[in-house]
Amino acid sequence: MFQYNDAAGSGKFQSSACAAAILSAVAILPGAVSAQTDCSFFSGQTVELVVPFNPGGGFDAYGRLVAKYMGPILGADSMIVRNQPGAGGMLATNQTWAADPDGLMLQVMSTSGMLTAELGGAAGVGFESAEFSWIGRVSGEPDVVAVGFGSDIASPEAIQAISAERPVRIGSSGVGDIDYIEAQILTKVFDLDSNIVVGFSGAPEVYSSLARGELDLFTSSYSGARQAAAAESASILWLFDDNADPDFPDLTPIGEYLEGDNLALVKAHADLVAGGRAIAGPPGIPEDRLTCLRDAFDATVVDEAFLAESAEINRPVAPISGADLQETIVSLTGNVPQDYADLLIESYSN
Amino acid sequence: MTSDTDSTGGRVDAYAEWIITLAVLGIMSTAFLAARSWPPDAAMFPMVLSGLAIGLLILKLVFMVMAALVPPPATTEETPAADEADGGGDLDEPPPGAFATANGRAWGEALLCLVIFFTVLSLFGIVVTLVVFGIGYLKIVGHRSLIFGVIYVGVLMGAVHLLFVQLLSLPLPEGILFP
Amino acid sequence: MLEAAISGLVQIMSPGAFGLMMIGIIIGMVVGILPGLGGPVALALMLPFTFGMTPIETFCFLLSTLVVTTTAGGITSILFGIPGEATAAAIVLDGHPMAKAGEAGRAIGAMLMASLMGALIGAVLIVLAIPIIRPVVLAFGPPEFLMLALVGLTFIAILSDGSMLKGLIMASAGILISLVGLDPQTSVPRYTFGMLEMWDGIGIVPIVIGLFGGPQILELMLSKKSISTRKAAGSTSGILKGFADAFIHWKTVVQAGLIGAGVGVVPGVGGSVAQFIAYGHAKQSSREPEKFGKGSIEGLLAASGNNNAKDGGSLIPMISFGLPGSVSTTIVLTAFLIVGIDPGPAMLTEHLDVTFSMIWVTIIANVIVLLITIPIIAPLSRLTMVSGPLLAPFLLALVVLGSYANSNSLFDVWVMLVAAAVGVICQRFRWPVVPLLLGLVLGDICERYFFLSQALFGWDWVTRPIVMGFGALMALIFFRAGLQSWKTFKNKRAVQ
């Protein structure tokens, strides 16, 4: 299953530090867009932004937010959102891969889900992530490890103590989902005897199971976990990352307990999760149009009205420009640690 | 089946019962066989289910064969064999309306209309379909004037546009050849 | 608590909130009438409009839309026999036969009044449950979900229309269809024929629209007659008679409402199973069970009374745990998060007034929808007098657009078409479709929770008290069904 954990996000996700860092990296300012390249192609055109999930979730919210502001900046007649759910997002991604690269059809990408599926050789993958024309990342947030509300587990040793008595129960939505891969990584790096319980309908259901004390651990997006913590279903234990994150100063990264190959494994995965929610078009969009799209995206994510609305609807943005994202994805897919690649392949081989 | 249904209708029903039962048996058997190649956890539920269904269908076939061999007692009206075999078929159900009474011509016409509708839909999308099919159907089948058809389609399209495009910004079905 | 109740009411009575509630009601009416668009789709598309609203205004807008789409969907179900969503299909079973018999007005009146009564029951149940919500929700785990789904499947015995064997076969077919897609344990694609479109399973909404709506449209095209050939389809006296029916059979409505609200609480399973339990229970306790499915007023009242009550019930796990009880409440939950309110214990203490506002909205929206529908019942009912060829293009557009909206793909239109063919064959040759629907909505749920129960508890889950209670309930339902068919059998013997 190819699916980024699309828990409805919210919360005090502090992106300001991150956004500021990106801001300095973004050289192009609004208004300067058309001065550099001739973007008259887009005027009067309708740009379609495909969201590979149903309306109502996080991907949809970000897609609609970007479309609303990016269309006018691009100079397009309109930028419309089209929901195309199916196969956990893979249906739309495959279609976008094969679409006409005229720059008029873009998609919100579940970057981490795409990458894990591709690297793991999942059935149904008909694309190569590095070849897409990446326009930019909209948002990204780290994953976290959570335990049941009021659980005694507070250290790797506590988990290993459970493991010595019985298999540690880790929840997951399904084989091949990000949370399944993370459960496998936890099993490996902490050397656990684990029972990965799959078949939950989604993160909220796993959290309610955690609240009933049926499970020991679960990993999800930070916003999903924060919501469960507010509902007193779960407590956030660690950041699923090799290093501390300045946006989450209170959270200990699991990297602190690890070294060597195990640390590298967590790092490889965390880098991939950082791909977050991004926008891309089919491979081979003509250079000038791609530049227009990337410039318009960069201008959109610093637009004041855009940021105000993003804050209002509790959908924080953490942008990365298209060129940087492309480079990151090319390097991620090119240099995967063997351990991690093996683990992904194992996750997807039924 | 009521007693006033003509005997051909009754025969069609009896044949249909065999065909449907055998068709579902075919589907369930295929489903059972397909499940054998899956990992045990994935295959368990489909195999148990299709296995059970195959059992039920064979039981039904046995009842049907028995009913065909043993003529029904003279006192009962001509009830379809299968219903009786199930022990509790509804004898006083009204006839199934137009499906049983419509003649071949009506069936041919209705099905042809549907084939045209869905062919045009898949090729040219809903907008063209509603215009072409709507006006044509109202004129030829509904015996309404062209003007009536144009107004009807116009109002319908206007409502669809307002609701789907303006209010909900939902995409409308597009065809393969023409959006 | 009384203070919070009053404060909640005062807050939604502010001009802004009340105005948004009215807008939500009108949008809900229009969108809900279109099959397949009511409920989750409409709510999700309304989300962007909540931008800039206060929390109270957001609930007034979204919840009234939700409540009203449910009710408005009942109108399409009654008039044209096309259900808007799988969770409301039971309204078609008796509502449409009534419309065919020239009683569209009475049916809509009864449906509206029963919906209102159901909403009230749901509201009362939430209020009573507030002190014990969290322990109650926590008492239900995967084994209990599984058993509840199985209780729902038991109703095949009652809803097979006389032929139990055919009913069981149809239910198996429904379960088989529900298994299409990636399996929950190993993510192997099952019965997908190599099509990615089927990996997430086949959409239930297109199937339901085709299965029930298809035969109705074809029948109109074949007969070229109107839906009802009798006059006086929408007379005022008919509407009043419908209202009166809801009070005359108040026991049926109250029981259906209690079942809806009580079962609706169970997240994921409740919404799907509630209508079958309520409808099946009504049939089992009716003095005229043979009329069910042929225009029984009791059947219609049970289906309608249950429908809005379950929406109330499904709010409970959402409010207390952030665990959505249905697809629609998932969207409402998203709205919660947008306006910055976290579901959880605080909703039952600190923000109790917000919870009460939500409860009030479900009641008031139902009252208003009743009032504004009264004047349009008569003209709507007259649609059943319009000739078949005139209605056909309109209804074809409805079912195509409704199924297309499931995933914005023509694939769903073809699913609807195949389902329609199955529906026609079933209706013509008397194979019961309700067990198929039961299997379809409950099949994959049973599988998922069976494996989850096993993974979490081994076979120990069988001995959990609530599981055993449900087991006893299933035995009771079987026993009563057996007794009833024995009686019918004996009566038939006596007549012969």
Give the one of C164, C172, C425 whose C-beta lies nearest to B52's C-beta. Answer: C172
Q: Does residue B19 share a domain with residue B57? A: yes
Cβ neighbours of residue C22 closer than 8 Å, sequence gap 6 or more: C64, C368
Q: Does residue B81 share a domain with residue B47? A: yes
Interface residue B167 vs chain C (CB under 8 A): yes
Phi, psi of C490 (to 5 degrees): -65, -45
pLDDT of residue C206: 93
Interface residue A211 vs chain B (CB under 8 A): no
> Cα-atom radius of gyration of chain B, to the nearest Å?
24
CA distances (Å), A83 to each of B50, C25, C291, C415, in order? 35, 25, 43, 19
* Domain hosting residue B64, numbered range: 7-101
pLDDT in tens, B49-62: 999 999 999 999 99
Domain-embedded: residue A110: yes
Task: Give the distance from residue C173's alpha carbon to the nearest chain A alpha carbon, in angstroms.
Answer: 22
Three-state SS at A136: strand
Return the amino acid letter for C382. Answer: R
pLDDT of residue A301: 93
Domain-embedded: residue B177: no
A contact chains, 3+ CB pairs < 8 A? B, C
Structure tokens at A75: 């100079």
Task: Give the distance from residue B65's alpha carbon to the nearest chain C alpha carbon, in angstroms.
Answer: 15
Q: Does residue A119 share a domain with residue A84? A: yes
Chain B residues touching C223 at Cβ < 8 A: 97-98, 102, 106
The answer to whether the CB of C122 falls within 8 A of the CB of C312 is yes
Give the separation between CA A91 and CA C238, rounded to whole angstroms.
50
What is the helix (H) or strand (E) element at residue A342, kind and residue range? helix A338-348
pLDDT band at residue B90 using 50, 70 and 90 as cut-offs: very low
The residue out of B101, B118, B149 marking a domain boundary is B101
Q: Does residue B54 share a domain with residue B43? A: yes
Domain-embedded: residue B174: no
pLDDT of residue B26: 96
* Domain hosting residue A177, numbered range: 143-271
In DSSP notation, A11-29 reads: S----HHHHHHHHHH----
Give the separation between CA A281 and CA A109, rounded to whole angstroms.
9
Q: Which residue from C minimizes the CA distance to B115?
A: C417
Q: Which of A110, A103, A102, A104 is nearest to A127 (CA)?
A: A110
**CATH number of the domain encompassing residue A292:** 3.40.190.150
Kindly report the average pLDDT of chain C as a whole number: 88
Q: Does residue A284 share a domain with residue A200? A: no
pLDDT higher than 90, residue C37 = no
pLDDT in tens, A299-320: 999 999 999 988 888 788 999 9
Helix axes C250-264, C236-248, angle to 10 degrees: 70
pLDDT in tens, C272-301: 789 899 999 999 888 888 889 899 999 999
Domain-embedded: residue A304: yes
Say whether the ipTM exceeds 0.90: no
pLDDT of residue B96: 58
Phi, psi of C395 (to 5 degrees): -70, -35
Chain A residues touching C186 at Cβ < 8 A: 175, 350
The answer to whether the CB of A208 falls within 8 A of the CB of A121 is no
Q: How many domains does chain C have?
A: 1
Q: Does residue A183 share a domain with residue A124? A: no
Give, rounded to a whole angstrom, the gap between the first and last alpha carbons of chain C: 63
Helix axes C297-321, C236-248, angle to 10 degrees: 70
Cβ neighbours of residue A40 closer than 8 Å, sequence gap 6 or more: A34, A75
Residue B160 to residue C222, Cβ atoms within 8 A:
no
B contact chains, 3+ CB pairs < 8 A? A, C
Question: Given the DSSP bridges, would you call strands A133-139 and A168-171 parallel, antiparallel or unpaired?
Answer: unpaired
The answer to whether the CB of A267 falls within 8 A of the CB of A242 is yes
Q: Does residue A127 share a domain with residue A22? A: yes
pLDDT in tens, A233-279: 999 999 999 999 888 999 999 999 999 999 999 999 999 998 899 99
Residues 52-111 on B with a CB inside 8 Å of C are 52-53, 56-57, 59-60, 63, 75-76, 82-83, 86-91, 93-94, 96-100, 102, 106-107, 109-110
What is the helix (H) or strand (E) element at residue C146, kind and residue range? helix C142-154
pLDDT higher than 70, residue A11 = no
Range from B89-98, B129-138, C156-165 that averages highest in pLDDT: B129-138
Q: Does residue B56 share a domain with residue B92? A: yes
Residues A91-119: what's their mean pLDDT?
93
The answer to whether the CB of C236 falls within 8 A of the CB of C382 is no
Q: Does residue A196 share a domain with residue A117? A: no
Residues C146-150: what's their mean pLDDT?
93
Suggest the residue from B1, B168, B169 to mutate for an interface test with chain C (most C CBs closer than 10 A): B168
Domain-embedded: residue A11: no
Return the amino acid letter for A297. Answer: F
- Of the listed ranges A89-93, A202-206, B11-15, C417-421, the least confidently predicted one is B11-15
Domain-embedded: residue B178: no
Residue B171 to residue A82, Cβ atoms within 8 A:
yes
Q: Does residue A220 share a domain with residue A330? A: no
pLDDT in tens, A46-62: 999 999 998 878 898 89
Give the separation between CA A246 and CA A226, rounded to whole angstroms.
17
Q: Which residue has the higher pLDDT, B76 or A171?
A: A171
The answer to whether the CB of A108 falls within 8 A of the CB of A277 is yes
Domain-embedded: residue B179: no
Q: Counting beta carbons within 10 angstroms of the beta carbon of residue A259, is it exposed (0 to 12), middle (13 to 18) or buried (19 or more)?
A: exposed
Interface residue B171 vs chain A (CB under 8 A): yes
Q: Does residue B161 share a domain with residue B97? A: no
The residue out of B101, B131, B157 marking a domain boundary is B101
Q: How many domains does chain B have?
A: 2
Q: How many domains does chain A have?
A: 2
Residue A81 to residue B169, Cβ atoms within 8 A:
yes
Q: Which of B102, B114, B145, B152 is nearest to B131 (CA)?
A: B152
Give the separation between CA C25 and CA C16, rounded to whole angstroms.
14
Give, rounded to a whole angstrom, the gap between the first and last alpha carbons of chain B: 48
Q: Which residue has the higher pLDDT, A238 or A10?
A: A238
CA distances (Å), C41 to each of A195, B169, C440, in order? 36, 12, 20
pLDDT in tens, A181-212: 999 999 999 999 999 999 898 888 899 999 99
CA distances (Å), A232 to each of A44, A211, B6, in order? 51, 8, 68
Q: Which of B84, B113, B110 is nearest to B14 (CA)?
A: B84
pLDDT higher than 70, residue B80 = no
pLDDT of residue B178: 63
Residue B169 to residue A350, Cβ atoms within 8 A:
no
Q: Does residue A262 share a domain with residue A188? A: yes
* Domain hosting residue C193, numbered range: 2-495
Task: Give the distance from residue C120's alpha carbon to the nearest chain A alpha carbon, in angstroms.
Answer: 27
Q: Does residue A294 share a domain with residue A251? A: no
Query: Residues for chain C: how many in total?
Result: 496
The answer to whether the CB of A101 falls within 8 A of the CB of A290 is no
Residue A350 to residue B171, Cβ atoms within 8 A:
no
Give the separation between CA A327 and CA A25, rounded to whole angstroms.
15
Q: Does residue B108 share a domain with residue B155? A: yes
The answer to whether the CB of C359 falls within 8 A of the CB of C8 is yes
**CATH number of the domain encompassing residue A178:** 3.40.190.10
Structure tokens at C447: 């599988």
pLDDT higher than 70, residue C253 = yes
Q: Does residue A251 share a domain with residue A298? A: no
Domain-embedded: residue A198: yes
Domain-embedded: residue B153: yes
Helices (H), C225-326: 236-248, 250-264, 270-285, 297-321
